[in-house]
Amino acid sequence: MIKELVTLGTLLLITGVLWLLQLHYPSLYLQRAFISFLAVTVTYFLFKVVIEATIARRITEAKARYSFKKAVSILYMAVLVAILIRIWIEQTETLLVSYGLLAAGIAIALQDFFRNFVGGVIIFTTGIYRVGDRIELQQKYGDVIDIGIMYTTLLELKEWVAGDQATGRLTLIPNGYVLSSVINNYTKDNNFIWDELEIPLTYDSEWREALTTMRRIVGEETRAMASRAEDDILKLKEKYYLTIRTVEPEIYLTLTDNWIMFHIRFITDVRQRRQVRSTIGQLLLDEIERSEKLRLASATVDIVGFPEVRVKQQG
């Protein structure tokens, strides 16, 4: 703030000197120089002292504050150049061309700023996502912990972590991406997703017993969530065109060359997907170990013979 006040004082001093000079030595150039410095002083006071120094202090987010100050500086220079062009150029055609070039320069310099600003306004007004939502944007996956006017802050999930769990990093995504990117929102109007677990069993296993066992275990583990999901689906149908979706566990079979693959489809809470998968997997393993009719399959290699090798001794 001290730097801005010193600069403002210097500009006021130069403006005062030019005012005295043009009073004692009337000249068109001195008059224009006085008006130019007066315009510089007023513009500097408005943009640098009032707007930048006062408003920027209230912006707590560092990147947003930097972007705001950068935008103010560019606008300050643009307004100043526009005023100086108006003072020193009298021909209308030249003036219009100069303003056109200036407007193009401003648009290029501030395109990211305006894009992020408009994106922030859209987020706040439309509710594409809110604080607390779990989203995926620009191949970044995480929980929204803050939405600024320029950036959205995520608590990052996945990356090097195998499941839907936090890495500990904070990811800042420019709001402008909401204008042109696909946004996956996992918790906008509901808190459930469908997940799948694959279990391979050998062909000599009793597959009918396996189906019964899997339906029982998965049904018991997901019953509470399925009930809540059913209520959410009814609400979704009032807002969107949504066809009937079953919330009960479903099991599909695929016959391969080596085993019978059981695809277990079930519903789970968005934030408990890894835990539910682990619990169901443990219960199924316990049941398979206790049963004499069920065997887990795995890829095996049978060696049926070795080629004959002869060693010829020389010498």
Give the per-residue pLDDT at 24.
76
Give the per-residue pLDDT at 67.
67
Q: Convert 100-138 to b/e letters by CB count within 10 Å (16 or more is b).
A: eebeeebeebbeebebbbebbeebeeeebbeeebbbbbe
Ranges of residues in the chain with a pLDDT under 50 are none
Give the per-residue pLDDT at 242.
78
Give the per-residue pLDDT at 303.
59
Give the per-residue pLDDT at 94.
64
Reported CATH class of domain 120-185: mainly beta
Euclidean distance between CA atoms 206 and 262, whole angstroms: 13
User: Other C-beta atoms within 10 Å of 287: how many?
Assistant: 16
The verdict on pTM exceeding 0.85 is no
Give the per-residue pLDDT at 127.
84
Spatial neighbors of 36 by CB under 8 A, at least 6 apart, are: 83, 84, 87, 88
Spatial neighbors of 148 by CB under 8 A, at least 6 apart, are: 61, 63, 64, 120, 175
Q: Residue 166: beta bridge partners? A: 157
Q: Which of 176, 262, 260 is nearest to 213 (CA)?
A: 262
Give the per-residue pLDDT at 100.
72
Question: What string of H, E and C letters represents the secondary structure of the chain?
Answer: CHHHHHHHHHHHHHHHHHHHHHHHCCCHHHHHHHHHHHHHHHHHHHHHHHHHHHHHHHCCCHHHHHHHHHHHHHHHHHHHHHHHHHHHCCCHHHHHHHHHHHHHHHHHHCHHHHHHHHHHHHHHHHCCCCCCCEEEECCEEEEEEEECCCEEEEEEECCCCCCCCEEEEEEEEEHHHHHCCCEEECCCCCCEEEEEEEEEECCCCCHHHHHHHHHHHHHHHHHHHHHHHHHHHHHHHHHCCCCCCCCCCEEEEEECCCCEEEEEEEEEEHHHHHHHHHHHHHHHHHHHHHCCCCCECCCCCCCCCCCCCCCCCCC
What are φ and ψ of residue 268, in 5° steps? -150, 160
CATH architecture of 192-290: 2-Layer Sandwich (3.30)
Question: In this structure, which amino acid lies at residue 112?
Answer: D
